[in-house]
Structure 1
Amino acid sequence: MCEFYYDADCGFCDASARVLQRLCPSIVVIPAWSEGDFSQCVREHISTEAVAIVDHEPYFGHEAIGATLRAAGRLSFIRLAGNVLCAGVLRPLWRRVYRSIALRRHQLGPLIGADACRISP
């Protein structure tokens, strides 16, 4: 069981979640709001990072994406990419990459034809 929560107010996040859904068709993708009727874990994190619940274990940010790919990727190379995103030695690098993208998501949405993120940086 894999649930992936993303910031519903962000066009870039919405577009990214749709790509993740195509890569991992068995997951449940859920648009979330920080004030919504979600678990406290999701509400606390959703305005700054994605959240995944994989086999009842929470993951955040790049690890949410990695854990989702690893658990539910439809092809072996997709699952391998998930392992790389969650690899211990590479976590600091992926954390910085994810953070950099998250901080600029309001600028990235329009570049891919998505609505701008309504959450200011």
Structure 2
Amino acid sequence: MREQPVLVFDGDCGFCTTSVRFAERRIGVRARVTPWQFADLAALGTTRERAEREVLWVERGRVYGGAQAVARLLVAAGPPWSLPGLALRVPPFRWAAQGLYRLVAMNRHRLPGGTPACALPAGRR
């Protein structure tokens, strides 16, 4: 039996939590979903610093972050989501997606569902 992928997100961030819940309802996340605050990050092959910075998709011992984590989530969801997910994995779409992801991540406290706490480093929340 193949091990289920894991989607790791910031459970203290309202925008992140809202986004993950939306993906679960509308896209159909085919992964175990867990806030990084409750995940065994070392066992997943990643660090707290990385999990604080970006959403993570862990599959078959590999860790994908940011826009590539979103791309993997979409591919795993199957049609019709797999097509945009595959597109996000190749240049120039990959580059654009990563830039957009960084912009959203840096401003998540200003977005719907975001709170001022989203702007703080995890150690200060």
Tell me which interval the TM-score lies in, with the shorter structure as reference length.
0.7 to 0.9
Q: How many residues align?
A: 114
What are the equivalent positions in structure 2 for 1:62-81 lying under 5 Å apart?
Answer: 62-71=67-76, 73=77, 75-81=78-84
Cα distance change, pair 64–25 in 1 and its aligned pair in 2 (3 A) = closer
1:55 aligns with 2:60: yes
Q: Residue 86 of structure 1 is aligned with which of 85, 89, 101? A: 89
CA contact (8 A) 1:105 1:117 kept: no
Pairing of 1:4-19 with structure 2 (within 5 A): 4-19=7-22
Q: Which amino acid aligns with 1:98?
A: Y
CA contact (8 A) 1:5 1:29 kept: yes
What residue ranges of structure 2 are gaps of 5+ in the alignment? 121-125
CA displacement 1:61-86 (0-9 Å, x = unmatched):
01001111112x1x411111211221
Percent of pairs with identical residues: 26
The aligned counterpart of 1:27 is 31
Are the structure 2 counterparts of residues 50 and 117 from structure 1 closer, same or farther at C-alpha, using a change threshold of 3 Å? farther
| 1:8–1:14 CA contact under 8 A, matched in 2 | yes
Distance between the aligned counterparts of 2:75 and 2:116, measured in 1?
A: 27
- Structure 1 moving runs of 4+ over 6 Å: none
Unaligned runs of 5+ in 1: none
Partner residue in 1 for 2:104? 101
Tell me how far 1:42 sits from its aligned partner.
Answer: 4.2
After superposition, the C-alpha distances for 1:6-33 in whole angstroms (9 at most, x for unaligned) are 0111000001111222313431111113
- What one-letter code is carried by the residue in structure 1 that aligns with 2:50? H
Q: Which sits farther off after the overlay, 21-30 or 58-67?
A: 21-30
Cα RMSD for the two superposed structures: 2.1
Asked if 2 retains the 8 angstrom alpha-carbon contact of 1:6 and 1:31, the reply is yes
